[in-house]
Amino acid sequence: MVNKQKNMLTNRRDAIVGLILMLVILLLANVVSRLFYFRWDLTSEKRYSISKPTKELVKNLKDVVTVKVYLDGDLNAGFTRLKEGTRNMLNELRAYGGKNIEYEFINPMAIQNLEERKAVMSDLIQRGLAPTNLTTKSHSESKQQIIFPGAIVAFGGREMPVQLLENQIGYGPQEILNNSQILLEFKLANAIRKLTQYRPPQIAFLKGHGELTSMETADMRQTLTGLQYEVKDVDLTRSFNIPERVDAAIIAKPLTPFDEKDKYKIDQYIMHGGKVLWLVDGTNAAMDSLRVSRTGQFVMGRELNIEDMLFKYGVRINSDVVSDINLCNPIPLIVGQMGNAPQTEMFPWYYFPLLVSENNHAIIKNLDPVASFFPSSIDTVKNPGVRKTILLHTTDNSKAQMAPTRVHFGILQGKPNPAYYNQPKLAVAVLLEGEFESVFKNRLSPEFLAMSDTVKALKFVDKSAAGKMIVISNGDIIRNDLRSDSTVYQLGFYKYTNKQFANKDFILNCLEYLVDNSGILETRNKEVKLRLLNSVKVEDEKLKWQLINIVAPIVVIVLFGFAFNFYRRKKYAA
């Protein structure tokens, strides 16, 4: 009896010591976790991890960033996944940004008063969020509702809309939602970066050589302004240089040749660290000229006197016109007359190829095709100090017609012969990165060099530091169409088919890559694998998996309880 009491006291003492030791360990672990912060992401594609640039961005916030997400309410499985992905991303940002990241989810459709709900919806649209019509189906009914898959990010009295749902042609609903989830980090981090930057990046449209007008680039200008860019025009013929304050310069479809003075201004802007987006046509092909002539247009190469510059930097825009019979936009042509009304039909116009890409560069990853209009091909030139990346190209069934050549509607009378379209993947957009050498090196007089050394802004530099530029051999990629009332179509909208192409996103990504040195754009390369359930198998095996997930855990717990009680009785039995 005495031994039994001693054993009970020993067991009780051991239990108390074990409990105290566990509490001490938990307390120490809590203290250590506060001193040494870490998170584990066990997913294969690291879907719950954010990149180093994003971490640094949110860690260095000086004030509170507020994110209001309007994707909430009764959603289907796909949008619920996007909502939870957004919540997880915001939690990840808050884990590194702390109290400087605040967010809330709002369902504008939950407002009972109809007039108030309409006012809120109108306000969200004016602030830049696009609504989506969501259809939710069940076995008994089908319900439609309007949702706003977007967010408003605010900081320091300014705000920026973030569209969480991608709008992609040719992708299924699940792929679109998956791609939208992939881009969550980039969209949210990019909005925070733009709102918190000490000054907005400045984009300059260069003028003086017949470039696109302000109305023809109006949609891009408005979009850039809404994304916290500062947009201005710089007339090369009236300025002694391109200001260093300009972060990136756009040369949008020049029509007249550049003289040496203007070439020198562009060259030295690049040598001093400036970034340039070139949109230059290789020929004079145009639909206006083609429609007024029954025999078509005699296409000539466009002489702009910048060929030596681009060659020195690493590319050559060829004097040719590219066509593609596999992927192109159609045009309407009159085929007859019914009464006084002309009858038109749509024909594939091979000179309007839709450009694609096969690499996973951050600029073009997950983008729809980009619409082009009489593009030329680009050759890269051997230049050891410059890395070239093909951003956009044609499909496998394309060819380039060297100028001078004739373009006419007669090619639409018969089916094209694929044997003639045997130049695959003709490059139309190329990214150049590296140290560029000045085209004026060893060409300037000693007197001019001595004079330039006296003014810092004009000092001649014969080689740049690590720089970037993008060359696109079609100026119309950045041009928006105009309606008859002089209002503008959205950039990338093709009015003959009412389809939206990725021209705007492509140009925005190009400029983002040129001006941003933080690496935020690289988060577009993130991968999230789409693991879809087999709907047929789910329906057939629904009951089995319900039993496994609901009944099996209960059975395991009951068996464990019986086993534990049996063990205790056997151990402590007299």
Burial profile 553-564: b = 16 or more Cβ within 10 angstroms, e = fewer: eeeeeeeeeeee
Which pTM does this prediction carry? 0.79
pLDDT tens profile 272-283: 999 999 999 999
| Backbone angles phi and psi of 530, in degrees to 5 | -90, 110
Q: Which two tokens stand for residue 348?
A: 């594939």
**pLDDT at res. 54:** 87
**pLDDT at res. 528:** 55
The DSSP annotation for 48-84 comes to T---HHHHHHHHT-SS-EEEEE---SS--HHHHHHHH
The DSSP annotation for 534-552 comes to -HHHHHHTHHHHHHHHHHH
Burial class from Cβ neighbours inside 10 Å (0-12, 13-18, 19+) for residue 216 reads buried
Q: Which two tokens stand for residue 414?
A: 């018969």
**pLDDT at res. 270:** 95
**pLDDT at res. 249:** 97
Q: How many residues does the chain have?
A: 574
Q: Which two tokens stand for residue 188?
A: 């949210």
What CA–CA distance (Å, rounded) separates 142 from 146? 14
What CA–CA distance (Å, rounded) separates 563 from 341? 89
pLDDT tens profile 342-358: 788 899 999 999 999 98
Strand residue runs (E) in 356-437: 370-371, 378-380, 386-393, 398-402, 405-407, 427-437
**pLDDT at res. 227:** 86
Non-local (6+) Cβ contacts of 519 within 8 A are 51, 52, 53
Question: Half-sphere exposure of residue 223, counting CA atoms within 13 Å on the CB side?
Answer: 21
| Low-confidence stretches of the chain (pLDDT beneath 50) | 530
Q: Which two tokens stand for residue 128?
A: 């830049």
What CA–CA distance (Å, rounded) separates 375 from 351? 8
Non-local (6+) Cβ contacts of 498 within 8 A are none
What CA–CA distance (Å, rounded) separates 65 from 192? 7
**pLDDT at res. 535:** 57
